Amino acid sequence: MEQTKSLKLVPEISDEKLKDLYKQMWLIRYFDEQVDQFFAKGMIHGTTHLAVGQEATAVGACALLSDEDKITSTHRGHGHSIAKGGRVDKMMAELFGRTTGYCKGKGGSMHIADLDKGNLGAMGIVGGGIPLAVGSALTAHMKKLEYVTVCFFGDGASNEGSFHEAVNMASIWDLPVVFFCENNQYGMSGNVKEMTNIENIAERAAAYGIPGVVIDGNNIIEVINATYEATERARRGEGPTLIEAKTYRWKGHSKSDAKKYRTREEEKDWRENRDPIKKFKEELIEAGIVTEEEAEKIKQEAKQDLDDAVQFAQDSPMPTLDDLLTDVYA
Amino acid sequence: MRELTYLEAVREAMSLEMRKNDDVFLMGEDIGVYGGAFGVTRGMIEEFGPERIRNTPISEAGIAGAAVGSALTGMRPIMELQFSDFITIALDQIVNQAAKLRYMYGGKGKVPMVVRTPSGSGTGAAAQHSQSLEAWVAHIPGLKVVQPSTAYDVKGLLKAAMDDDNPVIFYEHKLLYKTSSEVPEEEYSIPLGKADIKREGTDVTIVASAIMVHKALEAAAELEKEGISVEIVDPRTLVPLDTETIIQSVTKTGRLVVVHEAVKRGGFGGEIASMIAESEAFDYLDAPIKRLGGISAPIPYNPELEKAAVPQVPDIINAVKETLNK
Ligand SMILES: Cc1ncc(C[n+]2csc(CCOP(=O)(O)OP(=O)(O)O)c2C)c(N)n1
Ligand SMILES: [Mg+2]
């Protein structure tokens, strides 16, 4: 474990696992870049929200979670799904509206769920997943189960009443939940600086009597460490933590976005100077965990997985009208 | 006359009013430089500034409540709810506050606010962004409910909604935003509670709302080729409802098909059908009333399933023929 020390990791993580995390980051990037292209070509319909540039938050926060641990995800959820062990082929099939997709073609980009892997699903209602995560933590508490729930939500979502109600409840009941805010600076066009009057969303934790932590969300090591501490605290029965990870979405909010609310310079700065994948790669190389060539090979493996996923999706059957009323119970 | 899109008609109605009346202002998510999720408010912040085109945090309950409170105290707010599905979050303020105050306070105070919101399916946005929930608000005494189907109607009905001293829920249909019709440049008002006969006919009455007006028109054109003459009544406002026009039409044709996109079960079509059953038009009915509406399931993502979840032109044609025993 000598190498991991130079990475400043708090928990111990094997080299193999670190390489896998690196691959996951590329999978997310390739997945969302591919989806972006498919949308542009009209090959996928509906809408989509891409997490390119935010790979470190999803992968870092889920790095040490088991399949028993739960997450709740958001409209920008492809990365969460991949990081929680989701299969990119079933995800892509879902976006293609196929029966082999995670939701049999009924949910699409915004609603990928994989209950077996602990992904309680992506919620298209902003803030909708936050109280739900509290409920998941309540189950763990009442049934004395070991699992923790990591609740992903955005800076924008922290202005919904659901956030405040949920965090307070989790706090008074000491529930094993981690509120993980991916502050990518904007909720659609709303700049977080204009939509809140505080410097950090994590400051809101004080109002509910729980720890609030601000981290660099583009530094996966920081994400892993902060989430590790929060989940350990939760598992000890000491209650929730609010983590705020500062990050940036490289793409527009959804498929149609002229991005008038921010500058191209700002985007360029984040892309060129704060790329989370590039940063992790440099650290892995510096720590002697991978060579440049090995890093490239891992990246190509991710690309191959993605290409296979696209093939799988395209070869999969469409639902028929007989499927319209399956799973309807009321 | 010049043509305007449905979307432009919404914008023009608001802009004309805002130029005249400083009390009118707009609140909503991303309505500033972004121009709103569907582009309705594009250019408005440039003209009216951020005080009156008020970009809000993602806080639907807060926005709705601020609309109610400012309306009660002298402003005339228009609130843009980004998708009508999110009304779930705003409903306490709309249903328990806005709708109740005037009556509950013994006639004191008024709440002149408009909630504008896009509804409907057909965009591939799946279960949480595609619903048609107008029957919920139509059920609440104290709320007026508008569902325009054309650009012309949009402009006149929105003017009436903004002039109204009571809360109005104004449903815009996403798939109609790009449709256009002739729209006068000057201001005009279409009274709330006045239905419009979108096509005259003699054999069957179709009462259709929002996008279903257009599907019914298509169906009627097909049916005409087979010698079937269809009359299409667009109620335009569900509350107040122009029962008279519907009753007259059914009395004339003796047959009624009601079609809306919203889920059929508990949908407003049931209200229209039972209104007819209770009216003098009942004696003129030559066939059972037919209702068409969405299936009792959430809106699915897959485009083929999505289409099949709500009435389409062939469904309307079949329903009309059924009432004619054809
Ligand atoms: C209740 C609700 N309000 C508004 C929206 C529309 N909407 C979807 S995503 C979004 C922005 C969310 O911002 P944030 O929480 O910061 O997440 P991000 O998109 O930045 O990942 C908005 C306004 C929605 N889906 N649900
Ligand atoms: Mg955000």
- Predicted pLDDT of residue A1: 46
Average pLDDT of the residues in B33-45: 97
Same fold, B3-182 and B196-323: yes
The SS3 of residue B115 is strand
To test the pocket of ligand 1, the residue of B27, B31, B58 to mutate (highest count of ligand atoms within 8 Å of its CB) is: B58
Instruction: Say which CATH number the domain at A177 has.
Output: 3.40.50.970
Q: Please state, in angstroms and rounded to a whole number, the distance separating the CA atoms of residues A138 and A70.
A: 12
Q: Please state, in angstroms and rounded to a whole number, the distance separating the CA atoms of residues B84 and B81.
A: 6
Helix extents (H) in chain A:
2-6, 15-40, 55-62, 78-83, 88-95, 129-142, 161-172, 192-195, 204-208, 220-235, 264-273, 276-286, 292-315
- Predicted pLDDT of residue A49: 97
**Does ligand 1 lie within 6 Å of residue A135's CB atom?**
no
Is A324 in contact with B295 (Cβ distance < 8 A)? Answer: yes
Where do we find the tokens 């799946």? B126
Give burial (CB, 10 Å; 0-12/13-18/19+) of B172.
Answer: buried
- B60-77 b/e with 16+ CB inside 10 Å = b? bbbbbbbbbbbbbeebbb
| Tokens encoding A6 | 């130079």
Closest-approach residue (CA) in chain A for B122:
A46
To test the pocket of ligand 1, the residue of A75, A155, A192, A262 to mutate (highest count of ligand atoms within 8 Å of its CB) is: A75
Q: Please state, in angstroms and rounded to a whole number, the distance separating the CA atoms of residues A296 and A310.
A: 21
Is A106 in contact with B301 (Cβ distance < 8 A)? Answer: yes
pLDDT band at B326 (very low <50, low <70, confident <90, very high): confident
A3 pLDDT more than 60: no
Residue B173 annotated to the active site: no
At B103-151, the pLDDT tens digits run 999 999 999 999 999 999 999 999 999 999 999 999 999 999 999 999 9
| Count of domains forming chain A | 1
CA dist A214 → A52, A126, A171, B177, B273 (Å): 21, 22, 18, 42, 58
CATH class of B3-182: alpha beta
Residues 104-163 in B contacting A (C-alpha not used; CB under 8 Å): 123-129
Q: Please answer whether residues B285 and B117 qualify as being in contact, where contact means their C-beta atoms are separated by less than 8 angstroms.
A: no
Q: Please answer whether residues B127 and A111 qualify as being in contact, where contact means their C-beta atoms are separated by less than 8 angstroms.
A: yes
pLDDT band at A256 (very low <50, low <70, confident <90, very high): confident
Ligand 1 atom showing the smallest separation from residue A126 Cα = 26
Q: What is the ipTM of this complex?
A: 0.96
- List Cβ<8 Å contacts ≥24 apart for A292-296: A294/A19, A295/A22
Q: Phi, psi (5° rounding) for residue A266?
A: -60, -45
- Predicted pLDDT of residue A5: 53
Domain ranges of chain B: 3-182, 196-323
pLDDT over 90, % of chain B: 100
A95 pLDDT more than 90: yes
Q: Please state, in angstroms and rounded to a whole number, the distance separating the CA atoms of residues B147 and B132.
A: 11
At A204-235, the pLDDT tens digits run 999 999 999 999 999 999 999 999 999 999 99
Of A124, A128, A260, the CB nearest to B126: A124
A174 pLDDT more than 70: yes
Indicate the CATH number of B196-323 among 3.40.50.920, 3.90.226.10, 1.25.50.10, 3.30.360.10. Answer: 3.40.50.920
**What is the residue range of A48's domain?**
2-317
Ligand 1 atom showing the smallest separation from residue A253 Cα = 19
Strand (E) positions, A166-304?
A: 177-183, 186-187, 190-191, 212-216, 241-246
**Does ligand 1 lie within 6 Å of residue A130's CB atom?**
no
Where do we find the tokens 């999978």? A27
Q: Please answer whether residues A62 and A151 qualify as being in contact, where contact means their C-beta atoms are separated by less than 8 angstroms.
A: no
The SS3 of residue B118 is strand
SS3 content of chain A, % helix, strand, coil (to 5): 50, 10, 40
Is A324 in contact with B305 (Cβ distance < 8 A)? Answer: yes
**Mean confidence (pLDDT) of chain A:** 97
Interface test with B, best of A38, A95, A112, A159 (most B CBs within 10 A): A159
Cβ-based contacts of A318 with chain B (< 8 Å): 302, 304
Q: Give the H or E element holding residue B237.
A: strand B237-239
Of B34, B57, B309, the CB nearest to A324: B309
Is B125 in contact with A47 (Cβ distance < 8 A)? Answer: yes
Beta partners for residue A214, in sequence order: A244
Please indicate, yes or no, if residue A323 is contained in any of the structural domains: no
Compute the distance from residue B197 Cα to the ligand 1 centre, in Å. 40
Q: Please state, in angstroms and rounded to a whole number, the distance separating the CA atoms of residues B248 and B281.
A: 7
Is A195 in CB contact (< 8 Å) with chain B?
A: yes
Is B295 in CB contact (< 8 Å) with chain A?
A: yes
The SS3 of residue B188 is coil
Closest-approach residue (CA) in chain B for A326:
B297
CA distance A46 to chain B (A): 4
> Can you give the pTM of this predicted structure?
0.97
Ligand 1 atom showing the smallest separation from residue B89 Cα = 1
Please compute Rg for chain A using Cα positions: 19
| Tokens encoding A154 | 């955005």
A2 pLDDT more than 80: no
Please indicate, yes or no, if residue A325 is contained in any of the structural domains: no
A276 pLDDT more than 60: yes
Which residue is catalytic, options B129, B173, B214, B260? B129
Average pLDDT of the residues in A249-273: 95
Where do we find the tokens 């501490």? A229
Q: Phi, psi (5° rounding) for residue A190?
A: -80, 110
DSSP B281: G
Beta partners for residue B233, in sequence order: B197, B207
Residues 279-318 in A contacting B (C-alpha not used; CB under 8 Å): 318
Average pLDDT of the residues in B240-248: 98
At A62-77, the pLDDT tens digits run 999 999 999 999 999 9
| Tokens encoding B256 | 């009624």
**Does ligand 1 lie within 6 Å of residue A76's CB atom?**
yes
Compute the distance from residue A53 Cα to the ligand 1 centre, in Å. 18
A4 pLDDT more than 80: no
Please indicate, yes or no, if residue A328 is contained in any of the structural domains: no
Compute the distance from residue A127 Cα to the ligand 1 centre, in Å. 8
Is A261 in contact with B34 (Cβ distance < 8 A)? Answer: yes
